[in-house]
Chain A
Amino acid sequence: EIVMTQSPATLSVSPGEGATLSCWAGQSVSSNLAWYQQKPGQAPRLLIYGASTRATGIPARFSGSGSGTEFTLTITSLQSEDFAIYFCQQYNNWPQGTFGQGTKVEIK
């Protein structure tokens, strides 16, 4: 099983500021990395796949980068609706996809 590690656990950001979230894989997952957003009481929503491709309907302020073992999700100019928990997931080691423990982006 590939262990996914996210940092930080919590990120305090003021609305309008940017945020950078990190995700590391225990071994190379190539670009087979997705990011999800989860709001309280809701299911996760796919934001990014292939490490850097935005899913349908995702605003351009969300961007992903990285390959191999190090990945980054960047959110520019946070909006109120962006405060949520973000998970990364590798799907390279199929079928045993694994998720990170999440980063909570909270209002500063």
Chain B
Amino acid sequence: QVQLQESGPGLVKPSQTLSLTCTVSGDSIRRGGYYWSWIRQHPGKGLEWIGYIYYSGDIYYNQSLKSRVTISVDTSKNQFSLKLSSVTAADTAVYYCAREKVGPGSSGSPFDSWGQGSLVIVSS
């Protein structure tokens, strides 16, 4: 059974870069067939998709965050990472990594596995 685990600083200063890593166990990112995703949830709010990466390096970002987001993958470590630059208090959220099966045709698939989440607070 696949497991995902986020790691990274829980406190980031305004204007700095938020960095998180998701370590995958029980599945190989290199196997293909899945997109590896970042999703965030503001306190007491709904969920916001941030972006996906495929093992080959294909990347898709949420247009609203695209100018500040970088997602990368390290298949040798079975990890993928998120960087969000120029953070403000509005970026305070729980950040989840998740897995989505490559969908048929032009549609996607649901997120079938999630990490526990990592709370990141942006504050000086």
Contact = CB atoms under 8 A, between A and B. Distances in A.
A44 interface: yes
B117 A46 contact: no
Interface stretch (B11-19, B23-31, B105-113): B105-113
Q: At the interface, is chain A mostly helix, strand, loop or mixed? A: loop
Given A94-B103, A96-B63, A49 B110 contact: yes
B109 A49 contact: yes
Contacts of B96: 43-44
Contacts of B77: none
Nearest to B6: A43
A89 B115 contact: no
Interface residues of A, number: 25
Contact of B47 (A42, A94, A99): A99
Interface string B80-118: 000000000000000010101001001111111011110
B114 A97 contact: no
A101 B111 contact: no
Contact of B60 (A1, A44, A95, A102): A95
Interface of A: 1, 30, 32, 34, 36, 42-46, 49, 55, 87, 89, 91-92, 94-102
Given A46-B112, A91-B107, A101-B45, 15 more contacts: A30-B107, A32-B107, A43-B115, A45-B114, A46-B110, A55-B110, A91-B109, A91-B110, A92-B107, A94-B106, A94-B107, A94-B108, A95-B52, A95-B108, A102-B46
3 tightest A-B CB contacts, nearest first: A94-B108, A34-B110, A91-B108
